[in-house]
Amino acid sequence: MFGLGLTGGIGSGKTSVTDRLCARGAQLVDADLIVHELQRPGGAAFQPIIDRFGEEVRASDGTLDRPAIARLVFNDPAALGDLNGIVWPLVSATMAERRDELKATDRVVVFSIPLMRPEHRTALELQAIVVVDCPIEVAVARLVASRGMERADAEARVRNQVSREDRLAMADFVLDNSSTVAHLDDEVARLWAWVQTRRDGASPPPAP
């Protein structure tokens, strides 16, 4: 297994990158998808979230009302801390299980983690960390255009994440997604070539 950590801010285009990497043969382990699995009825996080936040976060169809949870925690650091304390240890354990299932393979395994921390490098046995990067104003414009967010909401969500500078400080490779689809395709091709060189044990070409 060649473990490749991938992160980026909201609106940076992480999914577009992982889709292209998977098309080239990579295996994806996506923290966001794992969160959805854990929060489904019967999932390990479902009942603890109901117990902490009450029946008001249970939707009429029996699933979690994710917008209601977001409203409760978005401007309440203590509530957000409680939610993260329920969800993220379970996510970490699940990602470690997926790592163990794949570590004996020769696959490039992309661990997509929005809240990447330096300790993930050791915990998931990552050979490299990639940051999908774009200017904050570009990310905000994408959230407004593609997700229908109000601009103030988009700006607040960007501000509440790990800072762009802190993300870039972790990067072994910075993938620029600030421009066109064609530019993104070129950047993914550049990343894939860099991964193959590093995977083969040679010194990889420098990544900006």
Model pLDDT for residues 68-104, shown as the tens digit of each residue: 998 898 778 899 999 999 999 999 999 999 999 999 9
CATH superfamily, region 1-26+107-202: P-loop containing nucleotide triphosphate hydrolases (3.40.50.300)
pLDDT per residue as tens digits for the range 15-40:
999 999 999 999 999 999 999 999 99
Average pLDDT, the chain: 91
What is the rounded distance in angstroms from the CA atom of residue 196 to the CA atom of residue 177?
A: 21
Q: Are 10 and 141 in contact (CB under 8 A)?
A: no
Q: What is the pTM of this model?
A: 0.87
* Maximum C-alpha span of the chain: 55
Q: Are 139 and 11 in contact (CB under 8 A)?
A: yes
Closest C-alpha among 188, 121, 133 to residue 158: 133
How does DSSP assign 65-132, residue by residue? -HHHHHHHHTT-HHHHHHHHHHHHHHHHHHHHHHHHHHTTS--EEEEE-TT--TTHHHHTT-SEEEEE
> Residue ranges of the domains in the chain?
1-26+107-202, 33-92
Instruction: Provide the pLDDT confidence category of residue 121 given band limits of 50, 70 and 90.
Output: very high
Backbone angles phi, psi at 201, to 5 degrees: 90, 0
